[in-house]
Amino acid sequence: MQRLESHACFGGRQEVWSHPSTTLRCDMRFGVYLPPQAEQQACPVLYWLSGLTCSEQNFIAKAGAQRYAAHHGLILVAPDTSPRGEGVADAEGYDLGLGAGFYVNATQAPWSSHYRMYDYVVDELPALVDAHFPSSTARAISGHSMGGHGALVVALRNPGRYRSVSAFAPIVAPSQVPWGEKAFSAYLGADRAAWQAWDASELVSSAAEKLPLLVDQGEDDEFLASQLQPERLQAACTAAGHPLRLRLQPGYDHSYYFIASFIGEHLAHHARALKG
């Protein structure tokens, strides 16, 4: 572990760390915000998964979440969105390869050598956080767009691991929209049946735990109709009796202006679950 950045922020510290990942077989970076309460006690952890083209920097610099994390006493952990470095496979375009890990475990060459973001988020990163920072056993997860997809899938596949989950403009049915079809074809192969294990709208029907889902979606999002389609998740949750709070926000788009406008409400939602 190597600390790359450390900044005073709302009484706590915003840091960026680098470490060699055994899961992804490359060096990885993640942001961690330590609230002032972490100097005296173990604090709950909220994991944030970012979207396409992003790194750990987007959330920590643009969301304005540290103010609310300091108020609630939450540690914020924001990993990168894909493996990076020499020898890591890439492709042309922004929606496959570097910056587009989709939080799955790739099974197809050349991606399977490094692209195991699911295992990294679920296992390796929390183990590092618990070993090096004053974290409690209470965890929550959230994310945006591709990261919203990741947060929902990770929570649904791991009953009992997270006390709460939320998402901003998530890709709720990646097996049925262009972004997901492109990524899943490359990472997972042509068998669409295998894709269902990484699709939140499919997973709710068999979820062992009915963890309530909080989803915010901007109504002026340019990707709403083509890539996001929250109505698919709504229909799946209704059919399965899975609790979903879907909030359509008039006038908001896909940007971090949207996230910054509602991140305080999401952190309050998580704080209630993490401390309740």
User: Residues with catalytic annotation?
Assistant: 145, 221, 254
The answer to whether the CB of 55 falls within 8 A of the CB of 81 is: yes
* DSSP result, 42-57: -EEEEEEE--TT--HH
* DSSP result, 133-160: S-EEEEEEEEEBTHHHHHHHHHHHHSTT
User: In a 3-state reduction of DSSP, which class is residue 163?
Assistant: coil
Sign of CA dihedral 156, 116, 97, 2: positive
Determine the Cα angle at 261 with ends 8 and 178, to 5°: 110
Q: How far apart are alpha carbons 21 and 83 in whole angstroms?
A: 9
The answer to whether the CB of 142 falls within 8 A of the CB of 46 is: yes
